[in-house]
Structures are given as structure tokens and as C-alpha cells.
């Protein structure tokens, strides 16, 4: 996924999806239950829906009981090519 493609996807996200994406940019890999609880505390009304959408867009990956930010996105954020 190119930086331009990532930027256009990020521009299309809702505020709740951006909150979740910033959360994963900070914590990288989080257990499913903990992520759901913490996103709710951060104001995300339906964390499961948001996590499913971010996963379908390829911004995060779902593993066995956890979610992890995609390596391409993490690399772009760390290098300063993308700001969240």
C-alpha cells in the first residue's frame, strides 16, 4: 500500500476511526478485550464495528485475540510521511 493510498484512506475515516487508529499508532499491538474497553473509554461508541472497518481497510490486522497496526502504516507514521 502506497503512502498516497494510505493518506486517502485516512482522510475518509470517521472521528471514532481516527481515535482508534491513533490508539494503535501509540500501542501497536493490543489484546482484543483490552482494546475494546480502552476505545470505549476514549469515546468510541461501537469499538467492534470500528475495529472491523479498520481491519477491512488494511490499517490494522487481527491476530489470535489481538489487533496490530499494519507495518506499512506504522512505518509511514514513524517516518513522518503520514500524520494522524
Distance between CA atoms of residues 14 and 2, nearest Å: 21
CATH of the domain at 8: 1.10.10
Please state the domain count of the chain. Answer: 1
pLDDT in tens, 8-19: 999 999 999 999
Q: Distance of CA 27 to CAs 4, 8, 12, 21, 22, Å?
A: 24, 23, 22, 10, 9
Residue 8 placed within a domain: yes
Q: Does residue 3 have a pLDDT over 90? A: no
pLDDT in tens, 31-79: 999 999 999 999 999 999 999 999 999 999 999 999 999 999 999 999 9
* Domain with 42 in it: 3-78
pTM for the structure as a whole: 0.91
Amino acid at each position: 500500500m502506497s503512502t498516497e493510498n494510505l493518506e486517502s484512506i485516512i482522510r475518509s475515516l470517521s472521528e471514532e476511526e481516527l481515535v482508534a487508529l491513533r490508539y494503535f499508532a501509540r500501542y501497536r499491538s493490543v489484546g482484543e478485550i483490552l482494546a475494546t474497553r480502552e476505545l470505549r473509554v476514549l469515546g468510541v461508541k461501537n469499538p467492534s464495528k470500528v475495529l472491523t472497518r479498520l481491519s477491512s481497510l488494511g490499517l490494522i490486522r487481527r491476530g489470535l485475540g489481538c489487533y496490530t497496526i499494519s507495518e506499512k502504516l506504522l512505518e509511514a507514521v514513524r517516518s513522518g510521511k503520514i500524520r494522524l
